[in-house]
Structure 1
Amino acid sequence: MTLIQFKEFDESRPIYLQVIEAIKKAIIRGELKPGDKIPSVRELAQELRINPNTVQKAYQELEREGITFTRRGQGNFVTEDQDKITSLKQEILEKIVRDFIDELSSVNLNLEDIMEKIKEYMKNEGHSNRKFR
């Protein structure tokens, strides 16, 4: 199972942070469900062709954040804490919105223009009635 859904790593950001982000997104998309076992450090390192220490660092951070937990001798698993998963979804949404707004404000667009473009895009792309989970 490929958790990383981009063709190559962004060289401007540490790889372990990109691994963390990819796993978090897999969780909120439902590709990894509460209680699911995640790939071993070795498996994911081989799949992504990165150093196992990088994966281990990402896994340690995910566990520190309460996103995953370890069962000795069995591996790493996605948290079963629904509140933590809900909080994770909110965290990802806030980051997407913040990055979006920061990018648009860097080109000096006003809110009305932004909202009009969003409506136009949604209509043209067939998303005008789309509901987001």
Structure 2
Amino acid sequence: MEWELNSKEPIYLQIKNHMKLRIVSGKLKEGERLLSVRDYASELKVNPNTILRVYSELENDGLIITQRGIGKFVTDDVEKIHNLRKELSIELIKDFISQSKNLGFSKSEIINLITDMYEEES
């Protein structure tokens, strides 16, 4: 497992958010088959009902689909995945801006910080 569950939020929500990130980042590709409920629960050492809930919510969100008798798959709706990636990025940016304002940074200082960090990461 490439990440650790914590006790700060419900386990199912941590798993759901992690799967969303794997989908939007391309680590789980469009149309890729997911592990069975039992296999994923075993891998994460959680109750299968937890994974069942995660899969159900992701399916309700349109991020995964069920092919009866075959399994569950990541949606092949590229636009849906792109929109989710954009939504998640906007949430991160809003949080960053809010926290930066609370620290006393001005708009231009925030923009400069982002520009500097982007260039350092490139």
Q: Do they fold alike, i.e. is TM over 0.5?
A: yes
The 1-side partners of 2:48 and 2:102 are apart by: 37
Distance 1:46 1:21 in 2: 19
Alignment deviations for residues 107-129 of structure 1 (CA, whole Å, 9 cap, x no partner): 23222222222333344x3x3xx
Residue from 49, 52, 71 that aligns with 1:53:
49
Map 1:13-52 → 2, pairs under 5 A:
13-52=9-48
Task: Establish whether residue 75 from structure 1 lines up as the match of residue 71 from structure 2.
Answer: yes
Aligned residues: 122
User: Structure 1: how far apart are the matches of 2:67 and 2:37?
Assistant: 14
User: Compared with structure 1, are the counterparts of its residues 120 and 89 closer, same or farther at alpha carbon in structure 2 (3 Å cutoff)?
Assistant: closer
User: What is the CA distance between 1:93 and its match in structure 2?
Assistant: 1.3
Deviations 1:53-83 (A, max 9, x none): 1111111000001100111221110111122
SS of equivalent residue, structure 1 residue 17: helix
Q: Quick check: 2:97–2:110 contact (8 Å CA) kept in 1?
A: no
Q: Quick one: distance in 1 between partners of 2:98 and 2:53?
A: 29
Aligned equivalents of 2:98, 2:82: Cα separation in 1? 24
Q: Normalising to structure 2: TM-score of the pair?
A: 0.86
TM-score with structure 1 setting the length? 0.80
Provide the aligned C-alpha RMSD in A. Answer: 1.8
What does the per-residue CA deviation read over 1:10-55, in whole Å, with 9 as the maximum and x for residues that have no partner?
3222221111111111112211111111111111111112221111
Secondary structure of the residue aligned to 2:72 is strand
Amino acid of the structure 2 residue aligned with 1:58: V
1:112 and 2:75 are equivalent in the alignment: no
The structure richer in helix per residue is 2
Between the aligned partners of 2:69 and 2:80, the Cα distance in structure 1 is 24
Q: Structure 2 unaligned runs (5+)?
A: none
CA distance in 2, matches of 1:45, 1:72: 20
Identical counterparts, % of pairs: 37
Query: Aligned partners of 2:95, 2:47: CA distance in 1, in Å?
Result: 29
